[in-house]
Amino acid sequence: MFVLRASLMRAAAPACRALTASAPKLTARPLGLATPRPCPARYMATQAQQTTVTNSPSSYREDEIIFNPMVEGQEQIEQVAQASMNSGKPEDSFARLNYHPESEAGVNEQIAHEYTMSYAYHAMSSYFSRDNVALPGLASFFRAASLEERSHAQMLMNFQATRGGRVRLAALAAPEMDYNHLEKGDALHAMELALALEKLNFQMLFELHKTAEKHEDSNMSDFLEDMLSEQAEGVKEVSDYVAHLRRVGKGLGVVLFDEKIAQRASEVASTAVTALGA
């Protein structure tokens, strides 16, 4: 077998030398591409195939320009040159590129919703801090939830700035301040309202993601997918708390639940404070 292979290579060697001698001298290619070396005889198919590859139109000329950024980027150069400093108009953004106005408006709407949730959770925290309610664990949990939603709003504002959008803050509706409920009790009533807010937030993020996909904005889609994953986990967590509170009723079980959720509140607050400081 080895004798046969050596014989074949010796037989092919003259053709390889003839082809190499007759082929035009290859000059250095642009973009740092190395000059191709003649293939070893064992990899060369036929002389006709090699000639076809050598004379293919894809070969670059020595003086050929492959990419000229000053020509290709002329549109971007003109846009930046015409943009005004300190302007609130989207067209005056230096960074904006492929960012649809519908996406920008959707991000601003989501910012307003995150702040609205933060406002509502702050009101819940205030209620459970009252001297005639006295559930400090729930007060701490909703205070931490308020910080978390505020951090989400900040993330969206940072994204808006990164993409060259303009943040438009909206007025916030005053939240409910009294969460007492004769049948359910205040803890369960507040937690069910929180679950409704979390599910609504998930739905709004989902719709915003659809907007990003409609305009083929892969950067925005990727950003929102991280938020959607976190939001799905948040919906599950609050759902568990609703189930726990429905089991314990309105008496001593709520006090025990309050002690348990205080531990979780410190974890949420720590994460939110870190996110706000980033």
Cβ neighbour number for residue 151 with a 10 Å cutoff? 20
259 assigned binding-site residue: no
**Helices 252-277 and 218-248 meet at what angle, rounded to 10?**
160
CA-nearest of 276, 274, 203 to 234 is 203
152 assigned binding-site residue: yes
Q: Is-above-0.85 flag for pTM? A: no
Full pLDDT tens readout for the chain, 278 residues:
544 444 545 555 555 555 555 555 544 444 444 445 555 444 444 444 444 444 455 565 666 666 666 666 666 666 666 666 766 676 667 888 899 999 999 999 999 999 999 999 999 999 999 999 999 999 999 999 999 999 999 999 999 999 999 999 999 999 999 999 999 999 999 999 999 999 999 999 999 999 999 999 999 999 999 999 999 999 999 999 999 999 999 989 999 999 999 888 888 877 777 777 65
Which residue intervals of 129-217 are DSSP H helices?
Answer: 136-162, 186-214
| Paired tokens of 241 | 């708390």
231 assigned binding-site residue: yes
Q: Could you tell me the domains of the chain?
A: 2-54 (no CATH), 68-97 (no CATH), 98-277 (1.20.1260.10)
| Paired tokens of 162 | 């990164």
Rounded Cα distance between 113 and 208, Å, is 12
Rounded Cα distance between 140 and 155, Å, is 23
